[in-house]
Structure formats: structure tokens, C-alpha cells
Chains A and B, each alone.
Chain A
Amino acid sequence: MSSPSDSSRLEHVQENFVRHILPLRGFIYGLVPRRHLVDDIVQETFVTACQKAESYQPDSNFRAWIFTIARFKALAALKRDAGRSVLFEPDLVELLAKDEPPDHGFQDRVAALDTCIAKLAGAARRAVVLRYSENLGPTEIAQHMGWSVNALNVALSRARVFLRRCVEETTRAGKPC
């Protein structure tokens, strides 16, 4: 049977998990950039974190703890798919994970994207929505829009360049560009 301190640790872990969910997903996207895998890994990380809540020390670094669990889950997912995957080799992903630089502006960038995407021309905005909201690949988007895949890739690339510049200006100035 769990003690009161166990249940309060579990609550602490769950609350912090929710608080860190956005940067955690960002970190996992960096290791395995496929949405269905990110969803699976976040879920597995949550389950493991709850199972290990008893051993978590509340005064320790929650971000480091949860990111470590997520890193192991991501590597396990890659190894499960080894040989059939179009993603990087697990040993390289491990190397990348160790080199992950600190990131403090992730949520601001996501917030700024709303304003910046609204500034895109109609077709480019449609392509970005299909790519990142509906999670379609370039070939499928090209078919939806009646474009060639090459034209779609060029449009997406240009849109991303514009968005990156717009987001950087927005977050630097603290106001919409």
C-alpha cells in the first residue's frame, strides 16, 4: 500500500510533468522527429515517471530527471524500429541527446508563430497548416493543393525562412512583428 508521502510525490511528479510538457515534446521531437513516435514516447515517459515517482527526490532537477527518462524511451523506440526506420541511428541520437543545448525560449517561439503564420500568403499558410497541423507529408500536401512536390518543397522552405525571421524579431522585440 502506498504511504501519504508516496501519493504526494506522485502528485508532484504529475504536476511537474504537465508543467514541462511543451519543452519535453520539443526535446523528443529533436530526437525522433515523427509525431506518432513523439506521442508514444511522451505517453511511455509519463507512465514510467509515475511508476518511479516514489524514488524521485522533490528537491532535485525535475527537468533533467524527466528528460533522461524520455531519452531512454526515445532510444528504445529507435532500437525497436532499427533497420526499418528512416530516422538516424540510435547511437547518433544518443550523441545528439548528450549535446542538447539549453533552450529557454521555446514557448515564446510557439506563441509568436500564431502572429507570424497569419502574415503568410494564403497558399503558403495552407501548406504550413497541412504540414504541421494535419501532419501530412510534402507529397500528400502537393497532391491536396494540386502542386508539384518540388514547388511545394520550395514554398514550404520559403515559408519557414520567413517564419523564422518573423519569430526571431517578435521574440526579440517582445511584440508582434
Chain B
Amino acid sequence: MASPDQEFSQRLERYFDGTLSAEERAVVEQRLRTDPAARQAYWEAARWNAALNAWGEQYAGRQEAKLEEFPAAPPRSVRRAWLVRTLAAAAALVLCFFAFRALRPSAEVVLAEVSFQRDATLPRVLHAGVYTISAGAIRFETTAGASVSVAAPARFRLTAADRIELASGRLTARMTRPEARLTVKVRDLEVTDLGTAFGVDANASGRALVSVFDGLVAVKTSTTSDDLHLAGGESLVRGRGAASAIAKTSYDAVAFRELWPLTAGIDEATKLVEFLPPGPLLRPLRDYRANDRVFLFPERQGAVVQQPLAVDLAPDVRTWPDSPVSPYPIPRGERAHSYLVFFQPDVASNANAGGLRRLAGEITFQHRVLGVICSDHGLDASDSVLGIAGADYSTPGQRRGLEEADKENYRGGGLPHDSITIAPDGRTVRFDFHVSNEREQMRVLVAPE
């Protein structure tokens, strides 16, 4: 068994390696705060870690420099013909080398920045190169305007800001601006975005799946002369082996379930939040029912507000319904991603379960929250601007917003009001719903960047 000092040293090693758990980190922090000798031990370990890193940086530089070595000149005594041939060969080599250097992306050029990691340890900025993640998931934003999420286990090569070769794993991509572009190569398929969101699954069996959540992609193969086009709500599958056929198949978004939140621009959510699949609604909204959770439905992304849009909660008025101030409307011209968060009871089983319950949790978005709409009128008025075309939001004769006041005599008891808060980080919405057998909805508006 390790002595206390050995254990402390091992924990410091794990801290420097990035593998120390939060609990262990708290223990180490406590000791460092109170023990001067531990702080001396820390600096010894830190200097050692820094020396290894400095060596690593120098080693990487030397490896790079080896590529720059010019072939040595031959001795003068050799025959002239040999000299000419050698120089010609050397010149050809150097020309090839510089042509190669000119054509390949520089290892120093930043192609993407990581915006989210869960249990993965990629560097914050990504250059051209091969990346492997063995646990968790990541999301990175390319400089060409794509937001790319990858679930482990996965291995991919970033070859340019607009090109990724996926060797294994699942990847989803969403274009964040109109001029954004991205091509994903998987097996012998090249999937090129034409203004859209899509997913690519390169699984271990050799099969490749492409699903388009929204918009259009072009798929090029080595066996067909023309591009295939896939639209939102369509999927394509490529079987194992070079001779396997490529065929459209029924829309499959389930393969990308783990990436749905990241693809939609959501970093974290309480477990009682269930995400609807991206893409066209597979069932009417009214069919999504549960008594123990809320649903989250990504609506229009990057919608432009045409008229000042009234909200019930905004960053300058962080708590609803207790705030004494009405928030300012979102001004005309502002762009927003919209998300509908709703509770919709399964009435039959709710009656059996006794009805009243509390659902509390939080959702952290990638970018800052612009506002939340949770009144009946506000929700109705914003459906046409922020809702998905074809989705039926109507609730004839019934409420849909949150309860802003306690109900004293509700089914023989009291039903407290709902409340929502924008957390100090500006990206997290906390909700505390008291629900019964009526639907409750709120629409969260988030800045696109």
C-alpha cells in the first residue's frame, strides 16, 4: 500500500496528466492550502512535469526540423556525371518536398476550436492531424463555420477547416452560418453539406450511415458518377465492402441519440429532460407524453426576429414570476435559436399516480440565453416566428403556459406556482415546475454565437 506521501505524489502525477477525479482534487487542494511542505512537494513535481513538457516541445520541434534537412553535398572528387545526377535528384526531392509542404495545411494553422468536452481530453485548438477519443463526447467549431460533435469511441483526421475524414465513430455537424461548408469522408463516401445539419456513423462492422436532419447534402461515391442528394428526414446506408450497394433507407436519427443535445447547441441537461430527435417531427407534438419528465424540442435555428418580440424572462430580469420588472422585448433583427421545453401528461397513468408532482432541473445551452417565453399569449404569438413548419402547436381551449400563481384549491390540495431562473452564467435555465394533468410549455431563445 502506498504511504500518505506516495499517495500524494501519485495524485499530483494524475493532476498533471489530467486524470485526477474531482473528489481527489478536493483532497489535494485541502492539503496544499494547509501544509507548506506539501506546497514544496508540489513545486518539485511541477518543475519535473514542466521539464518533461519542455523536452517534449523541443523534441517535436526537432522532428519537424528533420523534414527541413537539405541533402549533403557530395565530395568534390566524385565524377561530374554522378554529381549532376545527384544534384538533379536532390533538386527534385526538394521541389517535391516544398510542393508537399505548400499543398498540405500547416500544422500550426488553427482549423477548429473545441467548445465542449465530456470525459475527453482534446487540446483546446485543433490543427491538421489525427484525433482519437475513447470516452465521452466533444464538440468543436471549425473556422469554416461548422459545429461538429463526435461521440466516442471515434477516430478522425482533420485535414482542413472544411474537411474531416471519419475513420470510426459517430459525428454530427450543423452549419452555423450561411456560407459555412464541410465535407466528411467516410469509407469511400464523401458527404458534402449544402446548408444543413447531418450525421455520419462509421461503425466497427464497416457499415456507414448518413442521416440528414435538416436541409440537403450531396453524397459522392467511388462507384457512381453523379452525386446523390439527401434531404432532411432521409438516410443512406453503405454496406460493408467495396462492392456493397448504397441505398436510401428509412430515416435513422436514433444512431446519433447521444449527440442530439450537442448538435442542438445544448451542453448539459438534467436527466429528466428528454430530447426529441433532430429533423422533421416523426410524431405530432401532442403524442409526446410522460408524467416524470419534460421534453425538449429544438425549433427554428438562427431565426431572425421581424418585430420586437415580448419575453417573460430575460438576462436583465432573471427570475420568473417573482421579478417586479418586465423585461425588454428582443429587438427586431436579432437572430435566435429556439427551443420548446414542455411537460405533457399521460393523463390516464397520471390519474392512477395521484397527479401532482414537482419536476425541477436545468438546461445549459452552448451560448447565452436571450429570453424565455412562458405565457399562453407569448407562446401563441411566437409560434409562427420560432416554431417548426408543420408542427401543430394548437391547444384549443386549454392552457399551455406556466402557472404564475399558486392554486389553493386544486383537486383537494394546493398547487404551487412554477418558477424559472436564468443562472448567473447566462447560459443555464433552471426550472421548477409543479405539474398535474395540464400541459406546460416554455420557449427558450438562445443567441446563435
> Which residues of A approach B to under 8 Å, CB–CB?
22, 25-27, 29-30, 33-38, 83, 86, 88-89, 92, 95-96, 99-101, 103, 106, 109-110, 113-114, 117, 128-129, 131-135, 137-140, 142-144, 153, 156-157, 160, 163-164, 167
**When the two chains form the complex, which single residue of A22, A88, A103, A137 contacts B17, counting CB atoms closer than 8 Å?**
A137
A128 (CB) vs chain B CBs: closest residue: B52
Q: Which of chain B's residues have a CB closer than 8 A to the CB of A25?
A: 50, 53-54
B19 A137 Cβ-Cβ under 8 A: yes
Q: Which of chain B's residues have a CB closer than 8 A to the CB of A139?
A: 19, 121, 134-135
B-side interface size class? 35 or more
Q: Which of chain A's residues have a CB closer than 8 A to the CB of B245?
A: none
Q: Which of chain A's residues have a CB closer than 8 A to the CB of B48?
A: 109, 160, 164
Contact with A along B31-59 (1 / 0, CB 8 A): 01100100110110011111111111111
> Lowest 4 CB-CB distances: which A-B pairs, in order?
A132-B56, A137-B121, A29-B50, A30-B46
B32 A96 Cβ-Cβ under 8 A: yes
* 16 residue pairs from A and B, CB less than 8 Å apart: A30-B43, A30-B50, A33-B15, A37-B124, A86-B18, A86-B20, A86-B25, A95-B39, A96-B43, A99-B43, A110-B58, A131-B17, A139-B134, A139-B135, A143-B132, A153-B19
B63 (CB) vs chain A CBs: closest residue: A133
Q: Which of chain A's residues have a CB closer than 8 A to the CB of B10?
A: 157
Listed residue (B15, B22, B47, B49) with the most chain A CB atoms within 10 angstroms of its CB: B47
**When the two chains form the complex, which single residue of B42, B46, B51, B124 contacts A110, counting CB atoms closer than 8 Å?**
B51
Complex CA gap A64/B47 in Å reads 18
Complex CA gap A142/B17 in Å reads 13
Q: Which of chain A's residues have a CB closer than 8 A to the CB of B133?
A: 140
Complex CA gap A125/B160 in Å reads 31
A117 (CB) vs chain B CBs: closest residue: B55
B123 sits at the interface (CB 8 A) = yes
Contacts A88-B29, A92-B32, A114-B55 given; does A34 touch B47 at CB 8 Å: no
B56 (CB) vs chain A CBs: closest residue: A132
